[in-house]
Amino acid sequence: MTEPLDVAGLQRRLAEFAAARDWQPYHTPKNLAAALSVEASELVEIFQWLTPQESERVMDDPASAARVRDEVADVLAYLLQLCEVLGIDVLAALDAKIDRNGRRFPAP
Which spans of this chain sit near a second copy (rule: CB under 8 A)? 5-7, 10, 13-14, 17, 20-21, 26, 28-31, 33-52, 55-56, 58-59, 68-70, 72-77, 79-80, 82-83, 85-88, 90-98, 101-102, 105, 107-108
CB of 82 to a second copy, least distance (A): 7
106 backbone dihedrals φ, ψ, rounded to 5°:
-60, 140
Nearer to a second copy, 63 or 98 (CB): 98
- Contact by Cβ (8 Å): 42, 71: yes
- Contact by Cβ (8 Å): 68, 59: yes
Nearer to a second copy, 62 or 105 (CB): 105
In this structure, the chain runs to a length of: 108
- Closest by CA to 9, choosing from 93, 96, 80, 71, is 80
Nearer to a second copy, 43 or 63 (CB): 43
CB of 99 to a second copy, least distance (A): 10
Cα–Cα distance for residue pair 49/84, rounded to 1 Å: 35
CB of 27 to a second copy, least distance (A): 9
CB of 70 to a second copy, least distance (A): 6
User: DSSP assignment, residue 80?
Assistant: H
